[in-house]
Amino acid sequence: MLWVAKEGRYEVLTATVVLGALAVAASMWFWPAALLPAVVWLAVFWFFRDPKRETSVAVGELCSPADGTVTDVTPLDRHEDIGGPAVRVGIFMSLVSVHANRAPCPGRVRTVAHRPGVFLNARSADAGGRNESNALLLDPDPPLPGPIEVRQVAGVLARRIVCHVAPGDVVAAGYRIGFIKFGSRAELVIPRLPGTEVLVKAGDPVFGGLTVLARQPVAK
């Protein structure tokens, strides 16, 4: 069943009232013209859909924080928040993607940092470093190594990043941590260790809370 995301209820309600009135007015003039407001309403509803999902990951696995398409898998010699070598998986969220963001693993939120910036195309690997963004640093439950960063990144059209968690909050894998309105980007940054496996590549479709992006070595 499809549900409307709580972050989009105002927009869907507004679209229902405005586009409904337009559809009624158009039907009095030329009934096929009423189809256009109906199509626009469906597009608004589809953007703010929020399907219920059950997340199941094995020990050491990290699930996708967002729906979309993998744009890049980038090894980093050093990531400041991770504190050493890391690997970043970038995900482009198009206008037809589900825009809810989810925790990649169980853990505790260490920090939440919002940073103003520009609005480059969210497909660009540079967008995470230059665009307006919100970064969540998570301390994963043992034995998963950490910390782990999830970054919500605004795009050309995105102008509002919503985050529902705060430092100290405990989250489960797949827990809904926020939402980005309109086309945008999400990034998962994890420590790059001997045995780290990234299970996706550029061009792969992924689904938040369902697709396993990476696997980390853990003590048996």
* Range 171-198 average pLDDT: 92
DSSP three-state, residue 187: strand
* Range 36-57 average pLDDT: 85
C-alpha–C-alpha distance, residues 110 and 25, integer Å? 53
Per-residue pLDDT band at 165 (split at 50, 70, 90): very high
* Encoded tokens for 64: 């996708």
pLDDT value of position 138: 97
pLDDT value of position 68: 95
Which stretch, 53-57, 84-88, 90-94, has highest mean pLDDT? 84-88
Q: Which of 61, 31, 57, 45 is nearest to 2 (CA)?
A: 45
> Between residues 105 and 131, which one has the greater pLDDT?
105
Per-residue pLDDT band at 156 (split at 50, 70, 90): low
Q: What is the pLDDT of residues 125-148, one digit of tens each?
A: 655 566 788 999 999 999 999 899
Average pLDDT, the chain: 87
pLDDT value of position 127: 55
Neighbours of 11 (CB within 10 A): 16
* Range 95-110 average pLDDT: 93
C-alpha–C-alpha distance, residues 96 and 23, integer Å? 23
Domain 61-215: assigned CATH number: 2.70.70
Q: Is the pTM of this model over 0.75?
A: yes
Q: Which residues does the annotation mark as catalytic?
A: 184
- Percent of the chain topping pLDDT 70: 89
Parse the chain into domains and list their residue ranges: 6-47, 61-215
